[in-house]
A = this chain, B = another copy of it.
Amino acid sequence: MESEQVFKAVADHHRRHLLDSLAQADGQTLTQLCAYMPMSRIGVMKHLDILEQAGLITTRKVGRKKLHFLNPAPLHSVDAWLTGYRRLWNERMDRLEDLINRTQANEQPKEQNDAET
């Protein structure tokens, strides 16, 4: 499970949505997961395949049903990469705060855009 696969798997909002759905209710079947997705069953299957390749889900076949289980562990590699940047954007936020404070000390500020959510 290369971390590159994890990044790519998570880059698609449909796949993130699938993970979110499993985080909410683990062990869902394919058809259950399809309910959340604006595409054909085959489309969902392909996305699930990619998630499984990345190690983000595991599956178990029970009768004619295929159950899907979330495995968040590989997300750790994404988190690890981000770690180096958390410090950076905190520094910038601090500097921005300083700037705001200094600006407020002198004049009336108009409006301050925050980072997007």
Contact = CB atoms under 8 A, between A and B. Distances in A.
Interface of A: 1, 3-4, 7-8, 10-13, 16, 19-20, 23, 55, 70-82, 84-86, 88-89, 92, 115-117
A54 to B, nearest CB: 11
Given A7-B11, A13-B4, A88 B72 contact: yes
A82 B82 contact: yes
Contact of A82 (B4, B11, B13, B78): B78
Given A71-B92, A75-B85, 11 more contacts: A7-B12, A10-B11, A19-B85, A20-B84, A23-B84, A23-B85, A73-B89, A74-B115, A76-B89, A77-B116, A80-B117
| Majority DSSP secondary structure for residues of A touching B | helix
B115 A76 contact: yes
Contacts of A76: 89, 115, 117
The 8 closest A-B pairs by CB, nearest first: A11-B11, A73-B115, A72-B89, A72-B85, A72-B88, A7-B11, A8-B11, A75-B85
A9 B90 CA distance: 21
